[in-house]
Chains A and B, each alone.
Chain A
Amino acid sequence: MITETLVVKERFTNYPDDSFTLARGLTTGAYEGLLKVLKDHTPEEVVEMVKQSGLRGRGGAGFPSGAKWSFVPKDVFPKYVVVNDDEGEPCTFKDRELTERDPHAIIEGALICAYAIGAEAVFIYVRGEFALGVRRLYAAIDEATEQGFIGERIAGSDFSCKVIVHRGAGAYICGEETALLESLEGYRGQPRLRPPFFPAIKGLYHQPTVVNNVETLATVPHIVNRGVDWFRSMGTEKSPGPKIFSVSGCVQRPGNYELPLGTPMRDLLQIAGGLPEGRSFKAVIPGGASAPWLDSLDMTMDFEALGAAGSMLGSGSVIFLDDSTCAVRMAYISTRFFNHESCGKCTPCREGTWWSVKVMERIEHGEGRPEDLAILLDVCDQMSAPGPTYMPKGQCFCALGDSQAWSLRSAINLFRDEFEQHIQEQACPFPLEARLTVSSRSKAP
Chain B
Amino acid sequence: MRIGVCIKQVPDTDSQLRIADSGRGIDDSDLNWVISSCDLCALEEALLLAEAELARGEERPELVVFSLGPARVEEALRKALALGADRAVHLADEALQGGDALADGRALAAAVAKEHCDLVLTGAQSDDIGQAATPAVIAEILGFPYAWLVMAVELDSGKRSLRVVRELEAGMNEVLRLDLPALLAIQSGINKPRFASLRGTLQARKKPLRHEDRRGLEVDAARVGAAGAGFETESVTLPPAGAGGVMIEGVSAETAAEELIAHLEREAVL
User: Do these two chains interact?
Assistant: no
